[in-house]
């Protein structure tokens, strides 16, 4: 849990600053969208290689590689140059995917399936702590000190991840990972993934949730600056929205009472309606900002149980490959 919180802090500390840096370097939100799309495609392709690397390097070393990639990425961001920004984005995505995949593999190996309903909200709660504190901390440090200070703090959190993980002396994986057949062609396991309807549904749910959060972390700070609210307010909006993750224990309890299906349908529907309202109210910055935070509360309903369809459906011998998808 501590690793999840530290990893979240590392990425969240610069989450409100990176989009603003791109906006400042490129001059328009449209160009930022294009840049994010191109770097995301590159980062996605790099992430698909993670299962192959996990099997060869072992997850204990792959987690360290991922955290080190985050350190290098923030060092490049601190240069505040467009030529350094693109590789920094790719390294950040690759590092985040590496840490996420490795921690998910540890979860699936050590947490019984019957306990996932209780574990997932707790995991989201620890990750939410980082995303609640990080954006506000980043913009505060950026406003109070030199430009490189929040990036240095972000890198320090990633360095602590490596040190803490090494101190834990996590035992080697059980035979399921060691016996897994290496898939050198990512297309093979992508095809295998979508041949399984339950995993395909889990993918749709995860992508819908992640797409909203991606939009939130990129465009909420940009909207705050473009509408006149200011960069610091943008950071506080992001932190306030992320603090909605502290409600996941409530949603986890409700999901066990009424069923995950109803909980997820309600959460996605509510988020969609409020997000449409943000577009309608875009000319009124403070109203739109309040709706952004409200929509974050809506999407947090899906976070407490969002990964359970995948964790319950994936076959143990395909964990590394399927988790990457």
Helices (H) and strands (E) in the chain, counts: 17, 0
DSSP code per residue over 82-150: HHHHHHHHHHHHHHHHHHHHHHHHHHHHHS-GGGHHHHHHHHHHHHHHHHHHHHHHHHHHHHHS-TTHH
Asked whether residue 167 is domain-assigned, the answer is: yes
**What distance in Å separates the CA atoms of residue 241 and residue 108, rounded to the nearest whole number?**
29
CATH code of 268's domain: 1.20.1250.20
Contact between residue 76 and residue 85 where contact means Cβ atoms under 8 Å apart: yes
Q: Which range marks the domain in which residue 149 is found?
A: 2-171+184-324
Asked whether residue 176 is domain-assigned, the answer is: no
Residue range 90-126, pLDDT digits in tens? 898 888 888 888 877 776 666 666 666 666 667 777 7
Asked whether residue 115 is domain-assigned, the answer is: yes
Summarize the confidence of residues 129-134 as an average pLDDT: 80
Asked whether residue 313 is domain-assigned, the answer is: yes
Residue range 259-287, pLDDT digits in tens? 778 888 888 999 999 999 999 999 999 99
The alpha-helical segments, DSSP class H, found in 145-244 are 149-168, 175-178, 186-194, 197-226, 231-242
- 133 pLDDT band, cuts 50/70/90, is confident
Q: What is the pLDDT of residue 113?
A: 62
Contact between residue 296 and residue 247 where contact means Cβ atoms under 8 Å apart: no
Asked whether residue 93 is domain-assigned, the answer is: yes
Asked whether residue 41 is domain-assigned, the answer is: yes
Percent of the chain topping pLDDT 70: 87
Asked whether residue 97 is domain-assigned, the answer is: yes
Asked whether residue 179 is domain-assigned, the answer is: no
Residue range 185-241, pLDDT digits in tens? 667 778 888 888 888 888 888 888 888 988 898 899 999 988 988 888 888 898 888
What is the residue whose two structure tokens read 């995948």?
310
Q: Please state the domain count of the chain.
A: 1
Residue whose C-alpha is closest to residue 64's, from 173, 171, 162: 162
Q: What is the pLDDT of residue 138?
A: 87
- The pTM for the full model equals 0.74
């Amino acid at each position: 849990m501590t690793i999840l919180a530290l990893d979240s802090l590392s990425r969240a500390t610069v989450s409100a600053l990176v989009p603003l840096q791109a906006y400042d370097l490129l001059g328009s939100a449209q160009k930022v969208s294009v840049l994010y799309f191109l770097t995301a495609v590159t980062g996605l392709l790099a992430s698909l290689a993670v299962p192959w690397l996990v099997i060869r390097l072992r997850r204990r070393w792959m987690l360290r590689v991922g955290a080190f990639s985050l350190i290098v990425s923030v060092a490049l961001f601190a240069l505040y140059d467009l030529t350094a920004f693109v590789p920094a984005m790719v390294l950040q995505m690759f590092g985040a995917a590496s840490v996420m995949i490795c921690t998910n593999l540890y979860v699936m190996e050590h947490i019984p399936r019957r306990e996932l309903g209780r574990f997932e909200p707790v995991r989201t709660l620890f990750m939410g702590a980082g995303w609640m504190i990080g954006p506000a901390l980043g913009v505060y440090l950026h406003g109070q000190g030199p430009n490189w200070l929040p990036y240095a703090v972000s890198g320090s959190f990633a360095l602590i991840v490596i040190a803490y993980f090494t101190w834990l002396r996590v035992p080697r994986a059980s035979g399921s990972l060691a016996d897994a057949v290496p898939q050198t062609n990512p297309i093979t396991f992508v095809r295998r993934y979508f041949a399984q309807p339950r995993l395909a549904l889990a993918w749709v749910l995860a992508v819908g949730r992640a797409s909203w959060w991606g939009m939130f972390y990129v465009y909420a700070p940009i909207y705050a600056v473009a509408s006149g609210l200011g960069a610091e307010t943008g950071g506080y909006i992001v932190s306030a929205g992320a603090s909605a993750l502290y409600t996941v224990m409530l949603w986890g309890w409700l999901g066990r009472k009424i069923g995950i299906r109803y909980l997820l349908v309600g959460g996605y529907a509510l988020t969609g309606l409020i997000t449409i309202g943000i577009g309608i109210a875009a000319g009124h910055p403070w109203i739109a900002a309040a709706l952004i935070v409200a929509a974050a509360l809506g999407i947090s309903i899906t976070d407490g149980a969002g990964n359970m369809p995948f964790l319950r459906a994936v076959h143990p011998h395909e964990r590394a490959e399927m988790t990457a998808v």
